[in-house]
C-alpha cells in the first residue's frame, strides 16, 4: 500500500465552471485522505489535469497541457492523472496515444481516484473511465475567491442541439437531489454570491421530481443565512416561465441577471441547430423580462458561421443584436465536431469567414455595451469587491450585471474596501467592457 500522505497533489483544471465544481470535489477527497495539496505543479508528486472536450480547441489545449506537464516527470512528478470530459468521451483514442499519462478517469469516476492511483503505483497504466458512481457528490475545497462560489445543480443535457457534444460526453440531464444541494450550500460558509450552474438550470428537477423545481430550490437557497445572493447562469429560453420571472423579480436575494444562450436569431439557422424557439419568441421574452423586471441584465452567446449561414443571416443577427440591446454577449465561431448532427451538414463555412463574422458581431455589440456603460457615468452603483488589481493599483469588483470571468469589471479607488463586501462606487468613466470610479469619500 502506498502512503499517499507523503505525496503532494497538484491540480490543473481546464474548461468551464461546471468542471471547476467537479475538481473541487476531488480536492475534498484528496484532503479528506490527509494529503497535501500544492498550488505549484512543479512541487507535486501526483498531478491531476481536469480536461474539457467540448470543442476541438479545448481538446487540443488538454492534450498540450498533458504533454507540457509530462516533462516534469524527470523531476518531482511521479504520476500524471487525466480526468474529466476528454477521457470520458475519447478514452479509446487517448489512452493508447497519450502514454505520458498514468491514470484516466471520467466525469463520474472521482470516487475511484485513490483506487486507480494505487493500481498505477503497482506499475501499470490505468483506465478507470466509467467505473465510478454517477451523480458524484460530496464535500468541496473551493477554488474561487471565498466570497463567490459555483453550485452545480445538474449534469448532462437532453436538448440535443445539432452542434453540441455535451449529451455524448455528460449523458442525459440529471438533476442532483435538492436536499443534497441544500446541504452542500450550507457547508460553503458565508457566501456573498452563490452562482447556480448546469447545462440548463431552468430544467432542474424535471427528471427526478417530474416537474420543474428551480423556483423551489431558489426559495430554499435564499432562506439560508450564509447565502447573501444567488445568480443564475445558463437558462434555456423556452423554459423561462412566469413563475421563475416572478421569483427573480420579487426575491431580493436573487441577482437581477440572466444568462440565456440563444446561439442565433434567424429561424432557419435555429431550426438547423435544433433550437426550440425563434427570433420573435426571443424578442418577446426580452420585452416581457424588461417589463416585469425593469433593471434585469441579460447576457447571451451566439455562434457565427454555422453551416449554410449566409451574409443575409449574419445581417439578420446584427439587426437582432441592435434591437435586443443585450447587456453582455459572447460570440464563437462554429466548430465542426465529429459525432454531432451538424458535422454532416452541407454548406460548411470557411474558417476565415467564420472568424470575420465573429469579429463583426463583437464590433456591433461593443457599441451597444459602450452606450449602456456610458449611461452609468456620474451615477453611484453597488459593487461587490473581488479584491485588488495590482497592475491597475486599485480595487476591482463587479456590479450585479457582471458575472465573474465572462463579463466586465468595475475598477475603483477607495481608502478601504473589503473583499466579499459591497462598496458604493461613483462611476467616472467606462470603455466597452469595464467601468471606472471611486468611492464617495476618496480624494476628498
- Give the model's confidence band at 131: pLDDT under 50 very low, under 70 low, under 90 confident, else very high: confident
To the nearest 10 degrees (0 to 180), the angle between helices 351-374 and 311-324 is 10
Average per-residue pLDDT for the chain: 94
DSSP string, 216-257: HHHHHHTT-TTB--EEE----GGG--HHHHHHHHH-TTEEEE
Answer for the pair 62, 56: CB distance below 8 angstroms, yes or no: no
Q: What is the pLDDT of residue 132?
A: 81
Q: What is the pLDDT of residue 326?
A: 98
The per-residue b/e assignment along 333-368, b for 16 or more CB within 10 angstroms, e otherwise, is bbbbbeebebeeeeebbeeeebeebbebbeebbeeb
Helix (H, G, I), strand (E, B) or coil at 196: strand
With pLDDT > 90 as the criterion, what percentage of the chain qualifies? 89
Q: What is the pLDDT of residue 134?
A: 62
Pairwise CA distance, residues 306 & 353, whole Å: 11
Q: What is the pLDDT of residue 2?
A: 86
Pairwise CA distance, residues 48 & 413, whole Å: 39
Model confidence pLDDT, tens digit, residues 301-310: 999 999 999 9
Which grid coordinates belong to 419?
A: 473583499
Model confidence pLDDT, tens digit, residues 328-372: 999 999 999 999 999 999 999 999 999 999 999 999 999 999 999
pTM value is 0.94
Q: 38 φ, ψ to 5°?
A: -115, 145
Q: Which fold has domain 380-439?
A: OB fold (Dihydrolipoamide Acetyltransferase, E2P) (2.40.50)
Find the mean pLDDT for residues 408-437. Answer: 96
Q: Is a pLDDT exceeding 70 seen at residue 444?
A: no
With pLDDT > 70 as the criterion, what percentage of the chain qualifies? 98
Lowest-pLDDT range of 50-64, 108-122, 129-143, 406-420: 129-143
Find the mean pLDDT for residues 174-178. Answer: 95
> Which of 266, 331, 334, 261 is closest to 299 using CA atoms?
261
Answer for the pair 114, 4: CB distance below 8 angstroms, yes or no: yes
Find the mean pLDDT for residues 387-411. Answer: 96
Q: What is the pLDDT of residue 117?
A: 96
Annotated domain spans of the chain? 4-127, 148-374, 380-439
The per-residue b/e assignment along 148-181, b for 16 or more CB within 10 angstroms, e otherwise, is bbbbbbbbbbebebbbbbbbbbbbebbbbebeeb
- DSSP class of residue 372 equals H
> Which of 53, 47, 46 is closest to 93 using CA atoms?
53
Burial class (CB in 10 A: 0-12, 13-18, 19+), 276: middle
- CATH number of the 4-127 domain: 3.40.50.12160
Q: What is the pLDDT of residue 137?
A: 66
Find the mean pLDDT for residues 74-98. Answer: 93
Pairwise CA distance, residues 102 & 293, whole Å: 52
Helix and strand element counts for the chain (H, E): 13, 19
Q: Is a pLDDT exceeding 90 seen at residue 75?
A: no
Q: Is a pLDDT exceeding 60 seen at residue 135?
A: no
Cα angle value 244/403/240 (rounded, 5°): 20
Q: Please say whether the dihedral angle defined by the alpha carbons of residues 153, 159, 164 and 167, taken in this order, is positive or negative.
A: positive
Pairwise CA distance, residues 123 & 107, whole Å: 24
Q: What is the pLDDT of residue 428?
A: 97
- CATH number of the 148-374 domain: 3.80.30.20
Helices (H), 122-171: 166-170
Model confidence pLDDT, tens digit, residues 257-273: 999 999 999 999 999 99
Burial class (CB in 10 A: 0-12, 13-18, 19+), 189: exposed
For 184, other C-beta atoms within 10 Å of its C-beta total 20
Q: Please say whether the dihedral angle defined by the alpha carbons of residues 414, 420, 424 and 425, taken in this order, is positive or negative.
A: positive
Amino acid at each position: 500500500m502506498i502512503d499517499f500522505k507523503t505525496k503532494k497533489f497538484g491540480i490543473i483544471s481546464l474548461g468551464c465552471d461546471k468542471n471547476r465544481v467537479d475538481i473541487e470535489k476531488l480536492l475534498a477527497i484528496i484532503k479528506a485522505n490527509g494529503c497535501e495539496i500544492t498550488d505549484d505543479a512543479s512541487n507535486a508528486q501526483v498531478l491531476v489535469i481536469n480536461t474539457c472536450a467540448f470543442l476541438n480547441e479545448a481538446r487540443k489545449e488538454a492534450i498540450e497541457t498533458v504533454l507540457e506537464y509530462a516533462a516534469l516527470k524527470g523531476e518531482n512528478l511521479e504520476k500524471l492523472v487525466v480526468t474529466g470530459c476528454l477521457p470520458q468521451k475519447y478514452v479509446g483514442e487517448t489512452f493508447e496515444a497519450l502514454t505520458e499519462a498514468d491514470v484516466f478517469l471520467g466525469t463520474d469516476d472521482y470516487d475511484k481516484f485513490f483506487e486507480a492511483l494505487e493500481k498505477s503505483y503497482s506499475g501499470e497504466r490505468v483506465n478507470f473511465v466509467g467505473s465510478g458512481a454517477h451523480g458524484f457528490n460530496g464535500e468541496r475545497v473551493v477554488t474561487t475567491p471565498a466570497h463567490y462560489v459555483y453550485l452545480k445543480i445538474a449534469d448532462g443535457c437532453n436538448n440535443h442541439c445539432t452542434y453540441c457534444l455535451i449529451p455524448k460526453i455528460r449523458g442525459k440531464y440529471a438533476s442532483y437531489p435538492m436536499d443534497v444541494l441544500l446541504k452542500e450550500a450550507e457547508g460553503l460558509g458565508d457566501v456573498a454570491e452563490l452562482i447556480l450552474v448546469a447545462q440548463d438550470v431552468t430544467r432542474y428537477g424535471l427528471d427526478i421530481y417530474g416537474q420543474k423545481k428551480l423556483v423551489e430550490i431558489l426559495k430554499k437557497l435564499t432562506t439560508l443565512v450564509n447565502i447573501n445572493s444567488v445568480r443564475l447562469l445558463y437558462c434555456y429560453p423556452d423554459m423561462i416561465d412566469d413563475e421563475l420571472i416572478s421569483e427573480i423579480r420579487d426575491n431580493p436575494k436573487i441577482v437581477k441577471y440572466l444568462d440565456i444562450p440563444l446561439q442565433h436569431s434567424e429561424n432557419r439557422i435555429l431550426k438547423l441547430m435544433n433550437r426550440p424557439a425563434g427570433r420573435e419568441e426571443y424578442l418577446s421574452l426580452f420585452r416581457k423580462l424588461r417589463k416585469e423586471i425593469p433593471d434585469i441584465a441579460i447576457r447571451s452567446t451566439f455562434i457565427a458561421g454555422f453551416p449554410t449561414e449566409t451574409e443575409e443571416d449574419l445581417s439578420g443577427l446584427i439587426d437582432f443584436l441592435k434591437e435586443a440591446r443585450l447587456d453582455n454577449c459572447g460570440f464563437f465561431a462554429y466548430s465542426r465536431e465529429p459525432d454531432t448532427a451538424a458535422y454532416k451538414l452541407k454548406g460548411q463555412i470557411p474558417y476565415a469567414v467564420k472568424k470575420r463574422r465573429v469579429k463583426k458581431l463583437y464590433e456591433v455589440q461593443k457599441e451597444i455595451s459602450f452606450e449602456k456603460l456610458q449611461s452609468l457615468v456620474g451615477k453611484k452603483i453597488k459593487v461587490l469587491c473581488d479584491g485588488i488589481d495590482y497592475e491597475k493599483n486599485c480595487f476591482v469588483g463587479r456590479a450585479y450585471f457582471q458575472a465573474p470571468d465572462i463579463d466586465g469589471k468595475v475598477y475603483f479607488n477607495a481608502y478601504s474596501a473589503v473583499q466579499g463586501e459591497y462598496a458604493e462606487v461613483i462611476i467616472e468613466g467606462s470603455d466597452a467592457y469595464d467601468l471606472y470610479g471611486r468611492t464617495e469619500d476618496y480624494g476628498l
